[in-house]
Structures are given as structure tokens and as C-alpha cells.
Structure 1
Amino acid sequence: MHTELSIVAAPGRLPRIEAIGGLAGRHTGTDTVHLIGTAATPLGGDELDIRVVVLPGARLVVRSVAATIALPSTTTPVSSARWHFEVGAEAELDFDPEPTIVAGGAHHHAVTTVVLGVGARLRLRERIQLGRSGEDGGGWRGDLIADVGELPLLRHRLELGAGTSADDRLSAARALDSELRYPDDRPAWSGGLDAVRLPLAAGGSLATRTSARLHAPVAVG
């Protein structure tokens, strides 16, 4: 299945939502949209293309009504998602959906690109859990590419689970809580070996926490 979702927020009106496939959006406030699954996706072989645009001066909050579950299909375990975020000048985006659960035997690859305008504000959170209850298999890879105008802000890749170079069935992490903030002038912070917040050279910060299982709530930095 190929899923396409577009959300465009502008000052003074409800966000415009266009969707085909297994994911849709619903207005739950004047500046708030909740993501809603309309079919079982992503299954192995599925592709998701999601575009979120906040026009200059607008504000948008994006949440989801439930976790996303990536499942293998009978033909392939691999699914993919491409997320594209544009936040215009003096605009604000707060993106914090429920976690993505990668079931045993599934592999999910997410590529996220972010473009920020002058004076833009962003909080972009991603939570990943490998395996449902009693499962340990599955793999995930996430690429995060962010720019402020033409200035590179972040190039980041992280892999979890089966098939990765750092995989260890006994002690390797199976969960991730990640948050990109811009702007953010807080200093670097470390919560031990599995949690860190790092300032970015162009401004903002990236916080990551890895663990065996996600907990609710999870504080990152």
C-alpha cells in the first residue's frame, strides 16, 4: 500500500488535510491535528509519504490517537516512511505522536527531513519500540536531516535491532525516545550511558534515550 498525507497549516484557518491510503488526519482543535490509521499500515512493502507544512506565522500541533505498528508481510519484512516537515518564518510546529512499534520479524526505515525558516520553532519527537509483548526481533533505521534555510542543522542516523552492526540480543537497546528542539539554548546534559542531550552548532538540541522498553511517561533531558 502507498499512503500519502499532507497537512498544511496557515494563520487564521483550520489546517488543510489531504490523505490517501492507510493514514489520515482529523482536526481536534483550531491548530491541532490527530493522525488516525484508516487501514493496517505499514505492512512489509508499504510506503508512507507524509508532508507537514506550517506556513509563516502559523502554529500547528500534531498528535496521534494510537501507536503505529509495523508488521511483516508474506512477501517482505521491510516497510518505509518518508516524513517531510517545513516550518516557515516565525511559525511553530509541535509534533509528538504515539510510538511506532516494530513487530518481531518486521523492519522499518524512516527518513525525516526538516526545513526551518527564520524565527521558526520546532519540537519533533519520535519514539520507537522493537517488539510487542514477548517479542525480541525486528529492526528499525531512522535518518534525520534538518536545515535552517540553507544552513545544515543536523545529519543523524540511528539503527536498532536485528541486522544492525551494534545488535546484541542480550544487552542492546530495543527502544528509542528522541527529541529535536529548535531553538534551544540549554547546555549539554547526560543521564548516564543511555540518555544525552547535545546542543547543535547551528542552534537547537537533539536529545536521545535508549532502553530495553519504552516507559510512559518518558522524560528526555
Structure 2
Amino acid sequence: MRTELSIVAAPGRLPRIEAAGGLAGRHTGPDTVHLIGTAATPLGGDELDIRIVVRPGARLTVRSVAATIALPSTLTPLSTAHWDVEVGEGGVLDFDPEPTIVAGGAVHHTVTTVRLAGDARLRLRERVQLGRSGEDEGGWRGDLVADLGAVPLLRHRLELGAGSCTDDRLRAPRALDSELRYPDDRPAWTGGIDAVRLPLAAGGTLATRTGARLSVEMPTATEPAVPVG
């Protein structure tokens, strides 16, 4: 199945939503959209293409009503999702959906491309868990490419699962909590060997936490986060 979803926010009106396939959006506030699954997706072989645009001066909050579960099919374990995010001058995007659960035997790849204007504001969070209860298989790979105008902001790839470059017999992380913020001038911070927040050269920060299971909240340092609004 191929799924296409477009959410475009502009000042003075509800976000415009266009959807086809297994994912849709619903207005749950003047500037809030919740993602809703309308079919079992992603299955192996499925492709998701999601576009989120915040026009200059607009605000958009994106959430989801439930976790996304990636499942294998009889033909292939691999499913893919492409997220295309654009935030214009003075725009604000707060993106924090429920986690993606990669079921045993499934492999899910995501590519997220972000384009920000110089005075845009962004909080983009991604959470991934390999395996449902009693499962320890599955694989995930995520690419995050972000630009600030014509300036590269971030080029980042992380893999989870057996055979990935981050896997080993001693620790074998199976969960990821990642958050990109712009702007954010907090300094670098580490919370043990599993959690880190790094400032980016062009501004903003990337925080990541890996482990066996997702925690309720992203661990942060003692200083407060820069509010998205």
C-alpha cells in the first residue's frame, strides 16, 4: 500500500489536510492535527509519504492518537516512510507523535527531511521501540536531514536491531528517543552512556536516548528547554 498525507498550516485558518491510503489527519484544535490510522500500515512493502508545511507566521502542533506498528508481510519485511517538513519565516511546528513499534520480523526505514527558515521554531520528536511484548527481533533505520535556509543544520543516521552498526552482544539497544529543537542554545549534556544532547553548529540541539525500552519522558539536563511557542 502507498500512503500519501499532506498537512499545510497557514495563518487564520484550519490546517489543510489531504490524505490517501492508510493514514489520515483530524483537526483537534485550531492549530492542532492528530494523525489517525485508517488501515493496517505500514506492512512490509508499504510506502508512506508525508508532507508537513507550516507557512510563514503559522503554528502547527502534530500528535497521533495511537502508536504506529510496523509489521512484516509474507513478501518482504521492509516498509519505508518519508517525512518532508518545511517551516517558513516565523512559523512554529511542534511534532511529537506516539512511538513507532517495529514488530518481530519487520524492518522499517524512515527518512525525515526538514527545511527551516532562519526565524522558524521547531520541536521534532521521534520515538522507536523494537519488538512488542516478548519480541526482540526487528530492525529500524532513521535518516534525519535538516537545513536552515541554505545552511546544513544536521545530517544524522541511527540504526537499531540485530546486525546494525549500533548493536552488540553486551548492550543491544532496542529503543530510541530523539528530539531536534531549533532554536535552542543549551550546552552539551550527557546522562550516562545512553543519553546525550549535542548543540548543532548552526544552532539548535539534537538529543538522543537509547536503551532496552522507551521511558515516559526524554531525559534532559537541569536547565529548562527553550519553549516552542
Match of 1:140 in 2: 140
1:106 matched to 2:102: no
1:169 deviates by 4.9
1:36 matched to 2:36: yes
1:148-159 alignment, distance < 5 Å: 148-159=148-159
In structure 2, distance between residues paired with 1:55 and 1:128: 29
The percentage of counterpart residues that share the same residue type is 80
TM-score normalised over the length of structure 1:
0.98
SS in 1 for 2:172: coil
Contact 2:34-2:62 within 8 A present in 1 as well: yes
Match of 2:74 in 1: 74
Query: After TM superposition, which residue ranges in structure 1, 4 or more long, deviate above 6 angstroms?
Result: none
Q: 35-44 or 161-170: which moved more? A: 161-170
In structure 2, distance between residues paired with 1:186 and 1:158: 23
SS in 1 for 2:192: coil
Structure 2: which amino acid aligns with 1:36?
I
| Distance change (3 Å), C-alpha of 1:104 and 1:170 | farther
Contact 2:191-2:219 within 8 A present in 1 as well: no
Structure 2: which amino acid aligns with 1:75?
L
Match of 2:193 in 1: 193
Structure 2: which amino acid aligns with 1:10?
A
Match of 2:59 in 1: 59
In structure 2, distance between residues paired with 1:124 and 1:33: 15
Contact 1:177-1:220 within 8 A present in 2 as well: no
Match of 2:8 in 1: 8
* CA RMSD after TM alignment: 0.9
| Distance change (3 Å), C-alpha of 1:61 and 1:219 | same
In structure 1, distance between residues paired with 2:122 and 2:218: 19
Q: Gaps (5+ residues) in structure 1?
A: none
Contact 2:195-2:219 within 8 A present in 1 as well: no
Match of 2:160 in 1: 160
Structure 1: which amino acid aligns with 2:78?
V
In structure 1, distance between residues paired with 2:185 and 2:15: 30
In structure 1, distance between residues paired with 2:77 and 2:132: 16
1:165 deviates by 2.5
Contact 1:178-1:220 within 8 A present in 2 as well: no
Match of 1:172 in 2: 172
Q: How many residues align?
A: 221
Contact 1:208-1:220 within 8 A present in 2 as well: no
Match of 1:17 in 2: 17
In structure 1, distance between residues paired with 2:169 and 2:78: 20
| Distance change (3 Å), C-alpha of 1:165 and 1:217 | closer
In structure 2, distance between residues paired with 1:53 and 1:206: 21
TM-score normalised over the length of structure 2:
0.95
